[in-house]
Amino acid sequence: MRRPGPAYLDFMASTPVDPSVIDAMTDAMSHDWGNPHSDHAHGLQASKIVERSREALAALLGAGEDEILFTSGATEANNLAIKGVMSSAERRGNHLVVSSIEHKCVLEAARSLVKTGIEVTEVKPGADGRVRAEAIAQALRPDTALVSVMHANNETGVIQPVREIAEICHRQGVLFHTDAAQTVGKIDVDFNHTGADLLSFSGHKFYGPKGIGGLVVSRAARLRLVPQLDGGGQQPLGRSGTVPVPLCAGLAAAARLYERHGQSARTHIQSLQRLLEDRVTRKGCPFTINPHAERIPGCTSLRAEGVNAEDILLHARGELSASTGSACNSGSIEPSYVLLAQGLSFDEASSSVRIGIGRTTSEADIDRAVSALLAAHEKAYRAAA
């Protein structure tokens, strides 16, 4: 029998795969194992699973089925959106605008283009973690081809004004991309309402499998998106590679799960988030909540008093699984670049812990996490004295 592990409060990094998702994937692996691009009975059967997945994702996102492009995850989707537009002969110019709090895959994709002659402007957020639409407007130039601003930040949970930013971009003929990895399957996301031309998402952020995500591509953006993988062009828009049927089946199951339980899950998560925040910030407790605008449910950035966040998590490791920020940077000793961009000091950013609450979190998990955080802070504080 597996021993119960630490309380898991890192749902911004990844989520457990729901049993219904596992069932859908297992069934597809057992019965629909043909190549979905083959024109025979087994291939056509597998192709039906892929198309049903497109239908489920289109319904979840308010998009057309022909606008859904499957990728290996949000990292590939973000790279395709940024590099695909900026390498197009049809692009408006050589200028790219991103926010300075984007996920590393967006920032590094943008920075990699500098050596090809692309100019990149990084726009900082306000002190509350929100990127101002007027700051984006000021960054636009006659040669701006693309703007990329995430739907919600993966460290603070702050929701960005993407619709307002999209409208500003479109008035000047600029394409707009948003990384929605932290919002799809957590809050209602309608592709048309966001105003985005390109929208990225990832299955493992909403109880689906790792290894699959997607890029929603508007009909207006198609002519300005160049494929980044050479091969057989198996998918629309030329994305090459055999589509993984079991992962598509799992992704569709995760999408349907949100449609059935999304509202009740949000209510549950918000209730537990209030409980945790109230308890760790009571009078005499050594934590404060970092400044923030409106957030997605379940994401809390806590700042510890007088100690390093890495030390807290080290002392709490047996009781709590949480992080200091993006899982991509969890092995780094550098403070969060997101919090630094918001205006926090080096010490403040270094003492911040990200808590992520999800659909399967229980009140007992919160009790355990609060006790672990307080005990770990005391140990870390004494060790530093």
Encode pLDDT of 351-361 as tens digits: 999 999 999 99
The answer to whether residues 145 and 47 belong to one domain is yes
Among all chains, which residue has been given the structure tokens 């400044």? 291
d(CA 203, CA 308): 32
Structural domain harbouring 160: 19-256
pLDDT score recorded for residue 235 = 80
**In 4-152, alpha helices (H):** 19-31, 41-61, 74-86, 104-112, 133-139
Residue 2 above 70 pLDDT? no
Q: In terms of domains, do 114 and 196 share one? A: yes
Could you tell me the sign of the dihedral formed by the alpha carbons of 34, 37, 40, 46, in that order?
positive
Q: What is the pLDDT of residues 255-312, one digit of tens each?
A: 999 999 999 999 999 999 999 999 999 988 999 999 999 999 999 999 999 999 999 9
Confidence (pLDDT) at 227: 83
Q: What is the pLDDT of residues 207-221, one digit of tens each?
A: 999 999 999 999 989
pLDDT in tens, 277-291: 999 999 889 999 999
Across 131-151, average pLDDT: 98
The verdict on 232 and 315 lying in the same domain is no
19-28, 59-68, 81-90, range with the lowest pLDDT: 81-90
Give the DSSP H/E element, type plus range, for residue 354. Answer: strand 352-356
> Would you say 67 and 236 are in contact if contact means Cβ atoms under 8 Å apart?
no
Q: In the structure encoding, which two tokens stand for residue 108, read together? A: 């590094």
Looking up residue 165, the CATH number of its domain turns out to be: 3.40.640.10
Across the chain, mean pLDDT equals: 95
Q: Is the pLDDT of residue 330 over 90?
A: no
For the chain, count helices (H), then strands (E): 12, 12
Structure confidence at residue 329 as a pLDDT band (50, 70, 90): low
For residues 294 and 239, membership in a common domain is answered with no
Work out the angle between the directed axes of helices 104-112 and 74-86 (0-180°, nearest 10).
Answer: 30
Q: Are residues 185 and 213 in the same domain?
A: yes
CA 187 to CA 166: how far, in whole Å?
Answer: 19
User: Rounded to the nearest 10 degrees, how much is the dihedral formed by the CA atoms of 340, 346, 349, 350?
Assistant: 140
CATH number where 300 lies: 3.90.1150.10
Confidence at residue 220, expressed as pLDDT on a 0 to 100 scale: 87
CA separation for the pair 149, 155 (Å, rounded): 14
Distance CA 175, CA 150 (A): 14
The answer to whether 200 and 179 have CB atoms below 8 angstroms apart is yes
pLDDT at 327: 58
Residue 183, pLDDT above cutoff 90 = yes
Last residue of a domain, one of 256, 277, 294: 256
The residues carrying an active-site annotation are: 328
Count of structural domains, the chain: 2
pLDDT over 60 (residue 343): yes
Q: Please say if the pLDDT value at position 236 is more than 90.
A: no
Query: Rounded CA gap, 317 and 356, in Å?
Result: 15
Strand partners, 199: 178, 216
Is the residue at 367 inside a domain? yes
Is 111 part of a structural domain of the chain? yes
- Nearest to 86, CA basis, from 235, 228, 219, 191: 228
pLDDT tens digit sequence for 10-40: 999 999 999 999 999 999 999 999 999 999 9
Asked whether residue 39 falls in the same domain as residue 173, the answer is: yes
Determine the Cα–Cα distance for residues 94 and 276; give it in Å rounded to an integer.
46
**Is residue 1 one of the residues assigned to a domain?**
no
pLDDT recorded at residue 197:
98
DSSP per residue over 235-260, as a string?
Answer: SGGG--S---HHHHHHHHHHHHHHHH
Percent of the chain with pLDDT over 90: 87
- Position 333 scores a pLDDT of 67
Tell me how far apart the terminal alpha carbons of the chain are, to the nearest angstrom.
41
How does pLDDT run across 111-135, given as a tens digit for each residue? 999 999 999 999 999 999 999 999 9
More confident residue, 3 or 179: 179
pTM to 2 decimal places: 0.95
Residues 178 and 48 in one domain: yes
**CA-closest candidate to residue 235, choices 261, 250, 215, 259:** 215
The residue from 256, 286, 321 where one domain ends is 256
